Amino acid sequence: MKKLITVLTIIIATAAFAQNKNARASMEVDGVCLMCKTRIEKACLNTKGVKSAVWNVKTHELKLIFDARKTDLKTIQKSILAVGHDTKELKATDEAYATVHPCCRYRDRDIIDNHKEDEDHKKDSH
């Protein structure tokens, strides 16, 4: 019985230390512009354990590399919500959303349309 307990303890300890120090994940985060990109990425990078955060303005995909021994996706997601950006699973509070720059109000259809028009205008001028 004592050997069994020792073996189980070793297995559990090994599993606990086996957490990935370079875990990769992606999630959808709402935003509309380069200011949003900066805000989202900075919020992630200010989260202990996050090594890389790259948010794509067009696809809204946030790609992350983080140390799973120091943080997790829920913690990173809370950092994003705190700076006013929604994720696919959770919505930022109205108070947090109110802190984003007026041009970044991704919940406002007119703002989204204006950013699309700006993109179309840039394409036409090239």
Q: CATH number, domain at 117?
A: 3.30.70.100
- Tell me the CA end-to-end span of the chain in Å, nearest whole number: 75
pLDDT at 23 over 80: yes
Q: How far is CA 6 from CA 1, 9, 12, in A?
A: 9, 5, 10
- Is residue 11 assigned to a domain? no
Main-chain dihedrals φ then ψ at residue 63, nearest 5 degrees: -105, 130
pLDDT for the residue 1 = 61
- Is residue 57 assigned to a domain? yes
- Is residue 77 assigned to a domain? yes
pTM of the predicted protein model: 0.78
CA 43 to CA 74: how far, in whole Å?
13
Mean pLDDT of the 103-110 span: 90
Mean pLDDT of the 97-109 span: 93
Percent of the chain with pLDDT over 70: 78
Structural domain boundaries enclosing 63: 20-124
